[in-house]
């Protein structure tokens, strides 16, 4: 059985306790994980704070910080096959996806490496003739980066890349569900030569490790990705330290298909939107809103395509669809599917737990077009369940698209250019994909509206989120200050 360690203040160490990580393809424990409790979390934050405050990190030039990030990117690219294998074993995500996604994560570090020495201050032409005023941009301090188990190297990169480029230090908390890839990633931080304490990697349970970290008085910014309920705890924890918070949460994203769309393309994109990563994706296009005039034909074509998906062991290259990450998750999905059927939704395909070992659940399509309040239409399932609804006009499509409290992503399939623009403007979500789905890039911001969170990751603006400004005033007059009771 493999064993992993925490990385605190430049040293690898065991946790205060241990827990087992389960391989979801078999349902068996495969590795022992270290659990960080209060004392270790505290030590990790203090190490990050020391590194932030003394010359070992603050004393480096921005270009030197950038070089370390470039080195990390190269090491990550080399280690991608091993990290992909670990992620596949620990989360059940198919190797086809983990290997390509992790190799691409290196580009995020390169993008932010290049930005490190381009964060300029500014001169302010104030309305006072004897004053010079300028802004200095400075890093905010210690960042608590708290991530879920899915796409964890990507979700860490969009936090660590801009935070380190800006000059912050970090305590990264991996999810207790599948921490292996990030604990292994800590070795790359060490090899890249980041000074001791600049990046600390821990894991443990939310109620202790996550709560102590997010409420720690030395933390300046909590960058969180996870579920909305956990986000409420995070916000309440930060009432202790008044830390800044950025939240990347879940979604119930609409996938809208008009009758004029390229339907072959839309079918494949819909399959990718909801069944890639076994639906365990924050941007999953889990609500199909289909033009009523083509509903039966489209759903039929979709069902045919879905039935040919290759379900199998996630570590085999030909597999297209693996298990869910946890048993708890599979139980929740089954319960919501059963509830929706009881409410009157019709099962088109799937809907029953797969037999055999592992946490497999089949690709499932539910026709909810006559059940407006079906549980599967309103609940974020974070799983492979597509709920179908239909519309008879553009206005109805917009109204249904915007009918949830979430607003992370939306897909619109149409060949009508003016309609594409109208839909883009009317939909309330942080991302709109037109005639495509699930495209990401380090250059493009990512984030949500409403219950999907706030703050944006990726792109140039993310670096500024990890900085603050200092306004400097210089009086240039040689005359002494004569009257203390006049405001200048
Ligand atoms: P989760 O909210 O259960 O856990 C996320 C992290 O929060 C874990 O590291 C966990 O230990 C920690 N945590 C739990 N309780 C805590 C507490 N009280 N204080 C501090 N930290 C605590 O999420 P999950 O089940 O691992 O992931 C699934 C969720 O993540 C879904 O809702 C999904 O949509 C969302 N997600 C969002 C994005 C995005 O970019 N918007 C990306 C991926 C996943």
- 260-285, pLDDT tens digit by residue? 999 999 999 999 999 999 999 999 99
**pLDDT tens digits, 45-87:** 999 999 999 989 989 999 999 999 999 999 999 999 999 999 9
Amino acid 240: pLDDT: 85
3-state secondary structure at position 290: strand
Report yes or no: 302 and 266 within 8 Å, Cβ to Cβ: no
Quick one: fold of 2-249+452-472? Aldehyde Dehydrogenase; Chain A, domain 1 (3.40.605)
Could you tell me the sign of the dihedral formed by the alpha carbons of 87, 90, 93, 95, in that order? positive
3-state secondary structure at position 142: strand
Amino acid 66: pLDDT: 98
Residue 409 Cβ inside 6 Å of ligand 1? The answer reads no
**pLDDT tens digits, 428-472:** 999 999 999 999 999 999 999 999 999 999 999 999 999 999 999
Q: Give mean pLDDT, residues 81-104.
A: 97
Sorting pLDDT into bands at 50, 70 and 90, what band is 481? very high
Residue 206 Cα to ligand 1 middle (Å): 9
CA 204 to chain CA mean position, Å: 19
Amino acid 392: pLDDT: 98
Residue 223 Cβ inside 6 Å of ligand 1? The answer reads no
**pLDDT tens digits, 125-146:** 999 999 999 999 999 999 999 9
Nearest to 445 by CA among 248, 301, 196: 248
Q: Please state, as a whole number, how many other Cβ atoms lie within 10 Å of the Cβ of residue 384.
A: 27
CA distance 83 to 98: 8
Amino acid 131: pLDDT: 96
Q: What residues does CATH 3.40.309.10 cover in the chain?
A: 254-434
Residue nearest to atom 9 of ligand 1 (CA): 175
CA distance 68 to 195: 10
Amino acid 458: pLDDT: 97
- In the structure encoding, which two tokens stand for residue 161, read together? 């890349």
Residue 231 Cα to ligand 1 middle (Å): 8
408 exposure class (CB count in 10 Å sphere: 0-12, 13-18, 19+): buried
Which long-range contacts does 54-61 make (Cβ < 8 Å, 24+ apart)?
56/195, 56/196, 56/197, 56/198, 57/167, 57/169, 57/195, 57/197, 57/198, 58/167, 60/195, 61/117
Helix (H) or strand (E) holding 288: strand 287-291
Q: Give mean pLDDT, residues 401-423.
A: 98
Amino acid 151: pLDDT: 95
Sorting pLDDT into bands at 50, 70 and 90, what band is 227? very high
CA distance 345 to 353: 18
Amino acid 238: pLDDT: 96
Q: Give mean pLDDT, residues 351-361.
A: 96
Amino acid 149: pLDDT: 96
* pLDDT for 104 beyond 80: yes
The superfamily CATH assigns to domain 254-434 is Aldehyde Dehydrogenase; Chain A, domain 2 (3.40.309.10)
Residue 152 Cβ inside 6 Å of ligand 1? The answer reads no
Amino acid 132: pLDDT: 97
77 exposure class (CB count in 10 Å sphere: 0-12, 13-18, 19+): middle
Q: What's this model's pTM, rounded to 2 decimal places?
A: 0.97
Say which residues have a Cβ less than 8 Å from residue 129's Cβ, sequence separation at least 6. Answer: none
- In the structure encoding, which two tokens stand for residue 389, read together? 């609804």
Amino acid 46: pLDDT: 98
Residue 282 annotated among the catalytic residues of the structure: yes
Residue nearest to atom 39 of ligand 1 (CA): 248
In whole numbers, what is the pLDDT of the chain averaged over residues?
97
Residue 437 Cα to ligand 1 middle (Å): 23
Mutate to test the pocket of ligand 1, among 92, 172, 226, 440 (most ligand atoms within 8 A of CB): 226
CA distance 433 to 360: 29
Nearest to 98 by CA among 85, 117, 115: 85
DSSP annotation of 285: -
Q: How far is CA 147 from CA 105, 153, 323, 399, 442, in A?
A: 15, 9, 21, 32, 18
Residue 297 Cα to ligand 1 middle (Å): 37
Mutate to test the pocket of ligand 1, among 35, 148, 157, 205 (most ligand atoms within 8 A of CB): 148
Residue 214 Cα to ligand 1 middle (Å): 13
Sorting pLDDT into bands at 50, 70 and 90, what band is 324? very high
Q: How do the residues of the chain divide into helix, strand and coil, expressed in percent and rounded to 5? A: 40, 25, 35
For the CA of 453, the nearest atom of ligand 1:
41
Nearest to 145 by CA among 460, 457, 448: 457
* pLDDT for 488 beyond 90: no
Residue 234 Cβ inside 6 Å of ligand 1? The answer reads yes
Q: Tokens 């607003």 belong to which residue?
A: 407
CA distance 423 to 447: 19
Q: In whole angstroms, how large is the CA radius of gyration of the chain?
A: 24
For the CA of 207, the nearest atom of ligand 1:
18
Residue 429 Cβ inside 6 Å of ligand 1? The answer reads no
- In the structure encoding, which two tokens stand for residue 361, read together? 């659940």
Q: Tokens 């037999």 belong to which residue?
A: 355
282, 325, 368, 457: which one is catalytic? 282
Residue 482 Cβ inside 6 Å of ligand 1? The answer reads no
Sorting pLDDT into bands at 50, 70 and 90, what band is 5? very high
Sorting pLDDT into bands at 50, 70 and 90, what band is 486? confident
CA distance 34 to 133: 50
Q: How far is CA 297 from CA 129, 275, 289, 371, in A?
A: 72, 20, 14, 20
367 exposure class (CB count in 10 Å sphere: 0-12, 13-18, 19+): buried
Q: What residues does CATH 3.40.605.10 cover in the chain?
A: 2-249+452-472
DSSP annotation of 165: H
3-state secondary structure at position 164: helix
Nearest to 289 by CA among 187, 391, 440, 172: 391
Residue nearest to atom 22 of ligand 1 (CA): 206
């Amino acid at each position: 059985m493999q064993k992993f360690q925490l990385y605190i203040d430049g040293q690898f160490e065991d946790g205060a306790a241990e827990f087992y990580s389960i391989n979801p393809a078999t349902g068996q424990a495969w590795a022992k994980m270290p659990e960080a409790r209060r004392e270790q979390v505290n030590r990790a934050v203090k190490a990050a704070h020391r590194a932030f405050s003394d010359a070992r990190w603050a004393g480096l030039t921005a270009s030197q910080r950038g070089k370390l990030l470039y080195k990390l990117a190269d090491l990550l690219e080399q280690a991608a096959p091993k990290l992909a294998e670990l992620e596949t074993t620990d989360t059940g995500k198919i190797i086809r996806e983990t290997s390509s996604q992790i190799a691409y994560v290196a580009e995020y570090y390169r993008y932010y490496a290049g930005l490190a020495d381009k964060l300029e201050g500014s001169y302010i032409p104030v309305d006072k003739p004897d004053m010079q005023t300028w802004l200095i941009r400075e890093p905010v301090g210690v960042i608590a980066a708290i991530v879920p188990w899915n796409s964890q190297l990507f979700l860490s990169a969009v936090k660590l890349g801009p935070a380190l480029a800006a000059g912050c230090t970090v305590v990264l908390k991996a999810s207790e569900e599948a921490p292996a890839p990030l604990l292994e990633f800590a070795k790359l931080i060490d090899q890249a030569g980041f000074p001791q304490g600049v990046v600390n990697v821990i894991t443990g349970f939310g109620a202790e490790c996550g709560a102590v970290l997010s409420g720690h008085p030395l933390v300046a910014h909590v960058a969180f990705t996870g579920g909305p309920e956990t986000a409420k705890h995070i916000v309440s924890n930060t009432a202790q330290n008044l830390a800044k918070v950025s939240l990347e949460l879940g979604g119930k994203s609409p996938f809208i298909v008009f009758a004029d769309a390229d339907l072959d393309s839309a079918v494949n994109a819909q399959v990718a939107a909801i069944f890639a990563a076994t639906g365990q994706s924050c941007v999953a296009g889990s609500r199909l809103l289909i033009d009523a005039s083509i509903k039966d034909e489209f759903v039929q074509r979709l069902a045919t395509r879905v039935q040919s998906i290759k379900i199998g062991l996630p570590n085999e290259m030909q597999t297209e669809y693996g298990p869910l990450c946890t048993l708890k998750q599979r139980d929740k999905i089954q319960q919501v599917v059963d509830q929706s059927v009881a409410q009157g939704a019709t099962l088109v395909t799937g809907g029953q737990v797969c037999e055999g070992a592992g946490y497999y659940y089949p690709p499932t399509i539910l026709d909810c077009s006559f059940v407006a309040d079906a549980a599967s239409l309103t609940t974020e399932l974070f799983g492979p369940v597509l709920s179908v609804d239909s519309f008879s006009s553009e206005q109805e499509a917009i109204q249904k698209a915007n009918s949830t409290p979430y607003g992370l992503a939306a897909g619109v399939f149409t060949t009508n250019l003016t309609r594409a623009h109208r839909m883009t403007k009317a939909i309330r979500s942080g991302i709109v994909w037109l005639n495509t789905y699930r495209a990401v890039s380090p250059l493009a911001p990512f984030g949500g509206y409403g219950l999907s969170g706030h703050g944006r990751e990726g792109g140039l603006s993310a670096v500024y989120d990890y900085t603050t400004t200092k306004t400097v005033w210089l009086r240039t007059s040689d005359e002494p200050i004569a009257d203390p009771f006049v405001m200048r």
